[in-house]
Structure 1
Amino acid sequence: MSLDDVAEAIRECNDLYGSTLSDRNPANFMKDLLRGANASSNWPVSVAAKRFAAVQRTGDGECFEFIPYRPRQTEPFPDAFGVREDAPRYPVQSISIPLVTKSLGRSDETWLVQTAINLRVVETHFAVAAAFPLLELAHLQMGIKLRSTEIDALFLGKTGDPQRPESVLVTCEAKQAKDPLIQSQIINQVRAAFAEAEVDTVVPIGLRTIKGVGFYLTEFTAVTRLEASALEELTLASDAIYELRPPVKGI
């Protein structure tokens, strides 16, 4: 479905049901649909009955694409990687964040990622609880908007022989506590990372807030360049809960 298709459908619904939905930003249609815990219940019953979900598409005026359910899939947008309460827990100091900065904390992905980067939560994970071994890890950029996707944070790691280390990219998808991690979004990030950089391995991670506690970090099995094009499903390799002490507003 194109952006024009979605905008036209919004206008038709407004005319038919007397609603006042804006048709000015159809690019956010899938993002808005998937936000919160009710994505599957918001999906049309008639489409779900035919065992079809959707994945966001960007570039060339595209908005989303209908995709068939995977084997054993029972709902359009399952929360396959919800917080595992018995995951290992590690304390992370937040006292280094100035009080004036904390006072501006809010519940959105930008603040989530900014806080995690400032406190080196991802670096801590790869030091104490990682499945994929790294020698070093450095944050490159946040909020990277690419033609096919958006990467909330991107890191460059080094692995292998310390004398001749290999470069690895770590892609990060960030979500608030109520929002599920969507596999297709993370897989798109992996493919986009390979398209943008000359590396042979990408390690995808998800970062999700636990309200009043901190972050739940999910590390997925590393993907090689040869595997990326056929990648359809993520495998959890490691996870951990990082407790912010003291708690941070908005997290």
Structure 2
Amino acid sequence: MYFDKDDYVLITFKRMIEAKGFVVDDIDEAELIYLSKGDYEVRVSLDNLRKDYEQTPEDIIIEEFVEAVASAEEEMPDWETAKTGIYPSLCPSDFEFGEYINYPITDDFNMVIVYDSGNKKVWINEDQLDVWKIDNQTILQTAYKNLDIVLDNAVLEVEDFEGKKLAYFTLDDETMKSVLVLSKNLRKKVEPQLGWPIVTVIPVRDFSYLFAEKEFEFFAEKLADLIMDEYKNSGYPITTEILLVDEAVKAIAKYEADE
């Protein structure tokens, strides 16, 4: 078992997860952690957690991850209970999606469907649709409906940046910031301030900027370092693409690592 006693995130995670009744069975050379609790087994990586902790060095970051892992064995609620917690989410397209419901958005990222119980987000697969006795169209419509509600409750903040408008959303669940780009009501929300179509950058799950299409060249240059820094240092990266949002979401440019 590979174990670094100087790794604070690992030590704290191990202490907290064992307090939940889990046993750390093994930690391999790739630092993948094998956990069990009775007949339930799960493997986790702390790579993203370490990045999050580096940005926000507080134990609550580790505790929230432990809660998500510990509650993953819980059964999903019935459809009538679950449907208010169904949302789209974004994930890099190089993930092996398997049976998880997913839809490609650009070359860089896909949309997945999740159930958000408040302390964790569980990806939905085809088997779960059978359990709920619903089809893909039903869960997709439900996810978009709930996303529109999140957008309606979000506040569009607009700042003056060298005489040009740069906008972003503030909302209770910051992990929803990037996926708001898929809301069917986005035009209604942003057009009075930015016009339409708009351009957006969503390097990570909890970060997005929006601006007018005519300001593309200006902001593409000004935001380059910030976007790459967010993307490289976050535990939940999405894309370094610059996206045009009109009838659909389209990548019109992309920041590369050496820029």
TM-score when normalising by structure 2: 0.29
More relative contact order, 1 or 2 (CA 8 Å, 6+ apart): 1
Query: What TM-score comes out, normalization by structure 1 length?
Result: 0.30
